[in-house]
Amino acid sequence: MKFYVHRDPSNKIQMIPYVALQMSKLADADGLLLDVGEGTILLSRGEMSTREAMKMVSHLEQMSVDLVKQLTEASYKALSCPEGCKDPLDEFDEDVIENLMGCGADLDGLRMLLLQEEAEDE
């Protein structure tokens, strides 16, 4: 299940919705492990049981499939990379690129989307 958290970036105090902690069975945890990546946070118990670890792997696998589908669809909506531009896909692991290609992603579309995001960040 996904939750959208509306937040005020100027407020330095962040709260995790209690119902999300209840549904994830983390409400009673004494401590939580935050695994942080650019644009993502994964919250879990520091020490997971075998069952929890297997469920997490299953959940991450489904999220991965959903993200690959999203990228594949988005790749078809974008234009190709202009001549002479640095290939923005170079920063990603070859296995990720091969996985996306195997799922039918259009690499030129992904390049264009990455270039558009870079332009928006500038």
Condensed to tens digits (0 to 9), the pLDDT of residues 7-23 reads 888 888 888 889 999 99
Closest among 105, 115, 106, 118 to 83, alpha carbons compared: 115
44-62 tens-digit pLDDT: 888 888 898 899 899 999 9
62-121 tens-digit pLDDT: 999 999 988 888 777 665 555 666 788 888 989 999 999 999 998 888 888 888 888 888
- pLDDT attached to residue 39: 86
pTM over 0.85, yes/no: no
- pLDDT attached to residue 27: 92
- pLDDT attached to residue 61: 92
Q: Where are the domains of the chain?
A: 1-47, 48-121
- Which tokens is 35 given? 């695994």
Integer Cα distance of 53 and 102 in angstroms: 27
Q: What phi and psi, each to the nearest 5 degrees, are found at residue 80?
A: -80, 165
- Which tokens is 84 given? 């002479």
The structure tokens 């929890």 sit at 52
In angstroms and rounded to an integer, the radius of gyration of the C-alpha atoms of the chain is 18
